[in-house]
Structure 1
Amino acid sequence: MTASSTGTPEQLRDPDYTPPIAQAVPLGIQHVLAMFVSNVTPAIIVCGAAGFGFGSGSPDFPEMIYMIQMSMFFAGIGTLFQSIGVGPVGARLPIVQGTSFAFIPIMIPLVSGKGVDAIAVLMGGVFAGGLFHAFLGLFIGKIRFALPPLVTGLVVTMIGLALVQVGVQYAAGGVPAADTPEYGSALNWSMAFVVILVTLGLKFFAHGMLSLSAVLLGLLAGYVYAFAMGQVDFGNVGSAAVFALPDPLHFGLEFSVAAVLGFALMSFVSAVETVGDVSGITKGGANREATDREIEGATYADGVGTAISGLFGALPNTSFSQNVGLIAMTGVMSRGVVTIGALFLIACGLVPKIGAVISSVPIEVLGGGVIVMFGMVVAAGVSMLSDVHWNRRNMVIFAIALSLGLGLQLEPEALQYLPGTMQVLATSGILPAALIAIVLNLALPEELTDESTEEVSGGMSGHGRGSLSREDTA
C-alpha cells in the first residue's frame, strides 16, 4: 500500500495524523508482518539452547509457548509505549518494538543445557538490563561521539557472526547429539533450502508486500513442504489454551552478576541502535532530524518495556530496523497506524494456540529463515562499516577487536581459568570486541604518524583522517 491513497503529503509527514481506517488497518498489519518472524525467533532459540519445549508431549512445551506468547504481547506493549507514550517514556513516533537478536549471544551461555530452571536468572538479567537501558536515556545523546561506525558496525557484524552457527545447526536438524543420526540429512537440509530459495526469489523478483514479507512467506513455503514430507507435528496445538493472560514472575526472578553485567553492557549497544532507528524514521518519514526529546523518550521506552518484559517472562525489547525501512517505503509517518499493529500483536499474545502453531514449525524450516536473517545482520554491520574511513589506525582497531572477540567466542576454553562470570561475558565475543574497539577508539590519537593515517590500498579507499571525532560521526 502506498501513500497516495492515505492522505496529503503534509498529513503523511505528521505523526499525529491517522489515515482512514480502511487504509490504517492493513498498514498496521503490514508493520506486524514485517517484524513477526524476527520477533518470535529469539524465544525459540533460547528455549532450544536451554533444552526444553521441543517435541510432541514434552512436559516443558507449555513454557516455550508462553515465552512465544509474551514475545508478541510485550512487543505490542513496547510499541504502545513508543507510539502513544506515558509521561517521558516514548518517542510518540511510529516505532515498532520487538525482541532483540543482539542479546542472544549473551543469553545462550547463561541457559545452555540447564533447562527451564535457568530462565529465572535470564529474567533477572532482562529486568536489570531494562532498568539500566532506561537510565541511559538521561545522557545517550551526549555519548554518541564514542560510538562511530567503526564501533557500531563491528558490534552489529559480531552479533551476526555469533549467531550464524545457530542457523546452520537448526537447518541440519537442531543441536547435534549422539542419538540423532538424522542430523545433517538431505531431508533436513531440503526443508531449509526451500525457505532460502523462496525467500530469495520473492526478495529479488517480487515487489511491495510480497518482497517485504519474503522471509515470512519463505517460512510458510518451507512449512508446507515439511508438512507434505510428514515432518510437522500438531500434537501440542490441540492441547494449547484458546486464551491466557500474562503471568507475573512466571519463570521467577533471580539475579547473577554475569546476567546483570551482560544485559547492562548489551543494553548500551541496543540504545545506540535505537538512536539510529529514531533518526532513520524522522529522516525517512518526515525529512527532518530527530529531536532530543524523541531520542530520550525512545530510549526510555526501550528500557521500561524490557524491564516489564522480564517481570512477565519475555525477552529484551528494542526498536526494529525493518519497520524503519517500511516507513520510508510507504511514506506514512502515522503513529496511529503503528498503534493498530501493536494492538494486533497484543491480541496474538493472548492466544496460546497461535504460539503452539508457531512452535509446530520444524526446526529445520526455522533454520532456513534464521540463516537468512542472521546473514542479513552481518550484511547490515558490513554496510555500517562502509562508512568508516579505512586508514591504518582504524584497520588496526578493527583487526584487534575482531580477532580477540571472534577468537574467544570460537575457543572459550582459552579462558577456562577465569571466574565463571567473567568467562561467560568474555566468551560472548560481542562484549570484548565492543569494549576493545571503544577503548582503542578513544585512547589512540586520530593523527598518529603519516604512515598510520595513510589510506590503505588494495581497494580499501577512504580519507586520510579517521572518522572518529564527534563532528565526523554526527
Structure 2
Amino acid sequence: MTASNIGTPEQLRDPNYFPAIYRAVPLGVQHVLAMFVSNVTPAIIVAGAAGFGFGSNSPDFPELLYLIQMSMLFAGVATLMQTVTIGPVGAALPIVQGTSFAFIPIMIPLVAGKGVDGLAALFGGVIIGGLFHSLLGTVIGRIRFALPPLVTGLVVTMIGLALVKVGIEYAAGGVPAKASGAESYGSLSSWAPALIVVFVTLGLKFFARGMLSVSAVLIGILVGYVYCIFVGKLPIEAISGSWERSAAFALPQPFKYGFEFSLAAVIGFCLMAFVSAVETVGDVSGITKGGANREATDREIEGATYADGFGTALAGIFGGFPNTSFSQNVGLIAMTGVMSRHVVTIGAIFLIICGLIPKVGGIIRTVPIEVLGGGVIVMFGMVVAAGVSMLSDVTWNRRNMVIFAVSLSIGLGLQLEVMNVAPGSANALQHLPDTLRILGASGILPAALIAIVLNLILPETLADEATEEVSGGMAGHGRSEMMKDDHV
C-alpha cells in the first residue's frame, strides 16, 4: 500500500491523522508483520539458555508458551504507551515497541542452566532496570554527549557479535543436540531448513517490494516451516499436540516467577538501559525526519524514553522482557510515508490480542530450531550491520581507533574466553566476585564502560610521537588519511 492513495501529503505527515479504517488496518498489521519474529525470538533464546524443553510433552512447555505470550502482549502494551500516551509517558508518535535483543547477552548468564529457578532474579532485574530506564527520560538530553556513535556503534556491534553464535547453533540443530553429541548436529538435514530460510529472505529483500519485502524474514520462516512438514522433520502430530495443549485464552499473572534482587541483574539491566535509551532517541529522530521531515522535539524524546522504561518495568512484573523501539518499523514509516500513530495503535491492539491467546504461542513454539536459526542468522547479522553503520559516522583518527581497539579487544576477548569454556574449567574472570563475573562474561558491558570512560578522558588528539606505534603496519593512503583527520 502506497502513500498516494491514503491521504494528502499534509495529512500523511501528521501523527494525529487517522486514515480510513479499511486502509489503516492493513497498515497496522504490516507493522506487526515487520517485527513479529524479532519480538518473540528473545523469549525462545532465553528459554533455551535456561534449559527448557521444547517438546509439546515437555514439563517446561507451559513456561515457554507463557514467555512467548508475554512478549507479544507487552510489546502491544508498550506500543500503546507510545501512541496513545499516559500523561508524560509516550511520544504520541508511531513508535512500535518490542522485546530488545540488546539485553539477551545479559540475560543468558543469569538463567544459564537454572530452568525456572533463574527467572526470579532475571525479572527482578527487568523491573528495577525498567524503572531506572524511565528516569533517564528526565536527563536523556544531557547525557547523549557521553554516548556518541563511537560508543553506541561499538556496543550494538558487540551485541550482534555476541548473538551470531546462537544463530549458527540453532541452524546446525540446536544446543541440546550439540551438547549430547548427536550425529544429526551439523548435518545437511539440519542445515537445509536454515539455508532455505536465508535464501528466501534474501530473495524477497532484494527482488520483492512492499509487504513481501517488509515481511521477508517472517515469510522465509514460514517457507522453512512448510519444508520441515513436507520432509517429515516436523510431524503434524507435534503441531496438533501443541495446539491442543495451549489454552484459547489466558490472562497474565503478576510475579508468576517471583521477585529476587540480584545485584548482577540490576547493574546489568541499568547499564544496558543507557544503550537502549540512546537507540530509542535515534529511532524517534528517524521517525520524525523520515515521516515528517523535521527534528524530534524534547517532549517527544523524553516521552518515548519514559514509555521505554515503564513498558519494560510493567512487562517484568508479569514475566515479560525489556522493551525498546524497533528500528525496522522506522524504516517502514519512511517507506510508506504514513506518519499516523493511530495506524500503529491498531498494530498494538493486534499484538495484545495475540498475547492473550496462548494458542498463537503454541504454534510459534512448534517452529523447528533449525528454521528459527535461519531467521536468527539474518536478524543478528543485521544487528552487527546496524552497529557498523553507526560506526561509519565516526571520524577515524588515531584517538578513536585506540578507543575502539582497546574496548573491542577486551570486550570480545572476555566474551570468547569466558563464555566458551567447559563447565568447571578455569576462566579469565574466575577470581572475581559473582556479580562482576556475570557482568563481565557478556563482554558488552566492559566494552561499553571502557569506551565511555576513554572517550571522556582522552584528549581529542593523541601525541604525534604515538603515530608509528598505533598505526603499526598501516602505510600509504590509510596513514595519510588518519594524519589528515587529526588536523581537522
Partner of 1:329 in structure 2?
Answer: 335
Partner of 1:46 in structure 2?
Answer: 46
**Alignment partners' CA distance in 2, 1:106 and 1:294:** 29
Residue 134 of structure 1 aligns to which amino acid in structure 2?
S
Distance 1:424-1:316 versus aligned 2 partners, 3 A rule: same
- 1:307-354 deviation digits (Å, cap 9, x = unpaired): 000000010000000000000111100000000000000000010000
Residue 445 of structure 1 aligns to which amino acid in structure 2?
P
Partner of 1:220 in structure 2?
Answer: 222
Partner of 1:399 in structure 2?
Answer: 405
User: Greater helix share, 1 or 2?
Assistant: 2
Q: TM-score, normalised by structure 1?
A: 0.96
- 1:373-401 deviation digits (Å, cap 9, x = unpaired): 00010011111111111111110110000
Partner of 1:57 in structure 2?
Answer: 57
User: Given that residues 149 and 394 in structure 2 are in contact (C-alpha distance below 8 angstroms), is that contact kept between their aligned partners in structure 1?
Assistant: yes
**Alignment partners' CA distance in 2, 1:466 and 1:101:** 35
**Alignment partners' CA distance in 2, 1:144 and 1:247:** 37
**Alignment partners' CA distance in 2, 1:452 and 1:286:** 47
**Alignment partners' CA distance in 1, 2:37 and 2:392:** 28
Measured after TM superposition, the shift of residue 449 of structure 1 is: 2.8
Q: Describe the SS at the equivalent of 1:318.
A: strand
**Alignment partners' CA distance in 2, 1:458 and 1:360:** 54
- 1:396-441 deviation digits (Å, cap 9, x = unpaired): 1100000000000111111111111100101111101110000000
Q: Describe the SS at the equivalent of 2:246.
A: coil
Measured after TM superposition, the shift of residue 181 of structure 1 is: 2.8
1:449 aligns with 2:451: no
Residue 366 of structure 1 aligns to which amino acid in structure 2?
L
Measured after TM superposition, the shift of residue 114 of structure 1 is: 0.7
**Alignment partners' CA distance in 1, 2:260 and 2:233:** 37
**RMSD across aligned C-alpha pairs, in angstroms?**
1.7
**Alignment partners' CA distance in 2, 1:178 and 1:221:** 29
Matches within 5 A, 1:340-379: 340-379=346-385
Partner of 1:145 in structure 2?
Answer: 145
Distance 1:151-1:458 versus aligned 2 partners, 3 A rule: farther
Distance 1:285-1:452 versus aligned 2 partners, 3 A rule: farther
**Alignment partners' CA distance in 2, 1:370 and 1:451:** 45
**Alignment partners' CA distance in 2, 1:338 and 1:149:** 29
Unaligned runs of 5+ in 2: 419-426
**Alignment partners' CA distance in 2, 1:52 and 1:17:** 45
Measured after TM superposition, the shift of residue 212 of structure 1 is: 1.0
Partner of 1:116 in structure 2?
Answer: 116
**Alignment partners' CA distance in 1, 2:5 and 2:482:** 43
1:241 aligns with 2:243: no
Measured after TM superposition, the shift of residue 458 of structure 1 is: 5.1
Return 292-301 or 142-151, whichever deviates more.
Answer: 142-151
Measured after TM superposition, the shift of residue 216 of structure 1 is: 0.5
Partner of 1:279 in structure 2?
Answer: 285
Matches within 5 A, 1:294-313: 294-313=300-319
Measured after TM superposition, the shift of residue 178 of structure 1 is: 2.4
**Aligned-pair identity (%):** 73
Which of 204, 207, 221 is the aligned partner of 1:205?
Answer: 207
**Alignment partners' CA distance in 2, 1:437 and 1:458:** 27
Residue 447 of structure 2 aligns to which amino acid in structure 1?
A
**Alignment partners' CA distance in 1, 2:75 and 2:382:** 21
Residue 419 of structure 1 aligns to which amino acid in structure 2?
P
**Alignment partners' CA distance in 1, 2:27 and 2:212:** 14
Residue 161 of structure 1 aligns to which amino acid in structure 2?
L
Distance 1:162-1:458 versus aligned 2 partners, 3 A rule: farther
Partner of 1:422 in structure 2?
Answer: 436
**Alignment partners' CA distance in 2, 1:116 and 1:302:** 26
Which of 388, 393, 404 is the aligned partner of 1:387?
Answer: 393
**Alignment partners' CA distance in 2, 1:334 and 1:311:** 30
**Alignment partners' CA distance in 1, 2:486 and 2:147:** 13
Q: Describe the SS at the equivalent of 2:7.
A: coil
Distance 1:346-1:287 versus aligned 2 partners, 3 A rule: same
Q: TM-score, normalised by structure 2?
A: 0.93
**Alignment partners' CA distance in 2, 1:112 and 1:54:** 16
Partner of 2:424 in structure 1?
Answer: none
User: Given that residues 389 and 466 in structure 1 are in contact (C-alpha distance below 8 angstroms), is that contact kept between their aligned partners in structure 2?
Assistant: no
User: Given that residues 281 and 324 in structure 1 are in contact (C-alpha distance below 8 angstroms), is that contact kept between their aligned partners in structure 2?
Assistant: yes
Q: Describe the SS at the equivalent of 2:93.
A: coil
User: Given that residues 51 and 114 in structure 2 are in contact (C-alpha distance below 8 angstroms), is that contact kept between their aligned partners in structure 1?
Assistant: yes
Partner of 2:448 in structure 1?
Answer: 434
Return 71-80 or 439-448, whichever deviates more.
Answer: 439-448
Partner of 1:131 in structure 2?
Answer: 131
1:102 aligns with 2:102: yes
- 1:349-378 deviation digits (Å, cap 9, x = unpaired): 010000000000000100000001000100
Residue 123 of structure 1 aligns to which amino acid in structure 2?
F
Distance 1:166-1:466 versus aligned 2 partners, 3 A rule: farther
**Alignment partners' CA distance in 2, 1:9 and 1:462:** 45
**Alignment partners' CA distance in 2, 1:203 and 1:260:** 39
**Alignment partners' CA distance in 1, 2:356 and 2:478:** 53
**Alignment partners' CA distance in 2, 1:466 and 1:330:** 42
**Alignment partners' CA distance in 2, 1:118 and 1:183:** 27
Residue 270 of structure 1 aligns to which amino acid in structure 2?
S
**Alignment partners' CA distance in 1, 2:120 and 2:232:** 36
1:255 aligns with 2:280: no
**Alignment partners' CA distance in 1, 2:486 and 2:262:** 39
Measured after TM superposition, the shift of residue 257 of structure 1 is: 0.5
Partner of 2:233 in structure 1?
Answer: 231
Measured after TM superposition, the shift of residue 60 of structure 1 is: 1.1
**Alignment partners' CA distance in 2, 1:29 and 1:450:** 57
Unaligned runs of 5+ in 1: none
Measured after TM superposition, the shift of residue 450 of structure 1 is: 4.1
**Alignment partners' CA distance in 1, 2:322 and 2:205:** 28
Distance 1:466-1:134 versus aligned 2 partners, 3 A rule: farther
User: Given that residues 398 and 461 in structure 2 are in contact (C-alpha distance below 8 angstroms), is that contact kept between their aligned partners in structure 1?
Assistant: no
**Alignment partners' CA distance in 2, 1:143 and 1:403:** 26
User: Given that residues 394 and 466 in structure 1 are in contact (C-alpha distance below 8 angstroms), is that contact kept between their aligned partners in structure 2?
Assistant: no
**Alignment partners' CA distance in 1, 2:192 and 2:230:** 12
Measured after TM superposition, the shift of residue 462 of structure 1 is: 6.7
**Alignment partners' CA distance in 1, 2:275 and 2:464:** 32
Partner of 1:315 in structure 2?
Answer: 321
User: Given that residues 94 and 334 in structure 1 are in contact (C-alpha distance below 8 angstroms), is that contact kept between their aligned partners in structure 2?
Assistant: yes
